Amino acid sequence: MRTIRRAVAVMLALIVAAGLFVAVPAASAGQSGVSAQGVAVARGKLTDADKAKLELLKNLYKQIAETEKAIRDKVKAARTAGKDLTPYVADLKTAERYSVHRQISRGLMLTEAERQQLEAMDTSIRSLERQLVQLRKAKAPQATIDALKAQIKAARSARDAFAKSIRTAALNQFSARLDLLVADANMKLAFLQSLLARLP
């Protein structure tokens, strides 16, 4: 147990350094019990294969950070030289999205697909909450307000259940979770390297 905690702590530190933690709203994270410490208490024994995956993840995050910096430097040079970056706007936004999620809020480690799904769920919840405010201002019937409140509660529960499932997987399926993170890092690195090669 101590070995795996130390290993995950090292991995978390590396991910923080690489800027690849994703923020989770504090309220939701607290409700689902998600935390960096929680991730770090994965059950089981750290196998040689897991150690190799951790080392691979470390190297991938290092390459991602280096590639992100190279992209920023190349974009800066291109703009200074007056080069047209219009064809790359969408890809640069994607690259920025990969690098801007640096804040840690009770640090839940996510793949890009998980981050997008949680983000979509949060957006939906905020939209429902805005509707509730408008209904109250308009003095809508209480039954209508109560129905929307129930919808918001259900949406929050679904969001928290999804976040909890990620945490559970991190705790109970440590090796499989590493595989997901390695695959996600490989995807991001391949995209960033391709973009770097295509930039003028």
Contacts of 66 (CB under 8 A, 6+ apart): none
pLDDT at 86: 93
pLDDT at 54: 86
Where in the sequence is the domain holding 73, given as residue range(s)? 2-198
DSSP tally for the chain: helices H, then strands E: 8, 0
Distance of CA 35 to the CA centre of its chain: 13
Report how many domains make up the chain.
Answer: 1
pLDDT at 58: 86
Distance between CA atoms of residues 118 and 96, nearest Å: 18
Instruction: Divide the 200 residues of the chain into consecutive groups of 10 and give the mean pLDDT of each group.
Output: 45 40 34 36 65 88 91 94 94 83 47 85 96 94 95 96 83 80 90 95
The residue with tokens 């991995």 is 11
The residue with tokens 């990969």 is 98
Regarding pTM above 0.85, the answer is no
